């Protein structure tokens, strides 16, 4: 997108017919680079941990090209996935790498050139998305309403550019709100209505949960606003707050043990 990359992920994990909202699937892994994963939870956490080690800067003033990271790192992912037990490989795995160029702009000073790649098992060869392209991995990729939304968002690149020009960050917020609204209107058994949004800019990565307050609007339609603004409205409201989530393999294993679940069988 316009000087930054955006990733949005839900928090649901599935064990066959059992589902729980408990997992952070999108993480900061290095300077100007974040990762999101789907499929095998164990492989997803391995990828997150391995990327952090892979991207350890060799010196103070150092930055990685996200395109070169994808091209070099995917071989490590392929080897690691091949060495996993059948139980993990049967769940498959997908990785989305999001970053911005440390030096190249998009023609406007300060608007860094974004780079988003998708790598899927078993070979993990990176496929690079076009600027302003919008695409999904995981369960959302097979849901008609989400695919229709993604196509509309991709077609509205000019509108998002205008939003970003008027208010930096506005296009990311509009994308988050549109996906959140779809989740409320079209619930899916394998997808949580709770989401994390990750924005990667040059020198800055932010990951925030989807905490919203719904308030009644004209015509009886519910609109979404932030909690502070909702306090100013004299109306009944409905809060949506993200439940506690785990962000490491060790936390996830411990949670599964407490709930009598098999950690390696979890799929996201």
pTM: 0.82
pLDDT for residue 174: 67
CA distance 233 to 217: 11
97, 54 contact by CB (below 8 A): no
pLDDT for residue 134: 77
Choose among 236, 190, 188, 230: nearest CA to 213. Answer: 230
pLDDT for residue 156: 55
**What CATH number should be reported for the domain whose range is 5-265?**
3.60.20.10
CA distance 69 to 66: 5
pLDDT for residue 112: 87
pLDDT in tens, 58-72: 666 777 899 999 999
pLDDT for residue 151: 62
Count Cβ atoms below 10 Å from residue 40 Cβ, excluding itself.
26
pLDDT for residue 263: 96
* pLDDT lower than 50: segments of the chain: 158, 160, 162-163, 166-167, 221, 234
């Amino acid at each position: 997108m316009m000087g930054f990359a955006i990733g949005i992920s839900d928090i649901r994990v599935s064990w066959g017919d059992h589902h729980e909202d408990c997992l952070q699937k999108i993480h900061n892994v290095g300077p100007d680079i974040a990762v999101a994963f789907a499929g095998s939870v164990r492989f997803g956490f391995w990828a997150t941990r391995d990327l952090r080690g892979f991207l350890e800067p060799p010196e103070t003033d150092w930055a990685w090209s996200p395109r070169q990271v994808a091209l070099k790192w995917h071989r490590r992912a392929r080897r690691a996935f091949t060495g996993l037990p059948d139980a993990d490989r049967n769940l498959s795995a997908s990785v989305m790498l999001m970053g911005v160029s440390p030096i190249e702009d998009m023609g406007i000073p300060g608007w860094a050139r974004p780079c988003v790649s998708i790598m899927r098992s078993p070979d993990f060869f990176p496929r690079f998305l076009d600027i302003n392209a919008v695409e999904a991995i995981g369960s959302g990729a097979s849901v008609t309403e989400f695919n229709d939304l993604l196509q509309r968002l991709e077609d509205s690149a000019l509108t998002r550019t205008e939003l970003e020009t008027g208010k930096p960050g506005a296009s990311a917020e509009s994308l988050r709100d549109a996906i959140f609204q779809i989740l409320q209107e079209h619930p899916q058994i394998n997808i949580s209505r709770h989401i994390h949004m990750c924005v990667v800019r040059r020198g800055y990565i932010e990951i925030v949960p989807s905490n919203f307050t719904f308030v009644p609007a004209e015509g009886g339609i519910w609109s979404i606003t932030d909690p502070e603004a909702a306090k100013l409205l004299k109306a009944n409201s409905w809060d949506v707050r993200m439940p506690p989530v785990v962000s490491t393999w060790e936390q996830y294993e411990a949670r599964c043990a407490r709930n009598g679940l098999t950690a390696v069988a979890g799929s996201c």
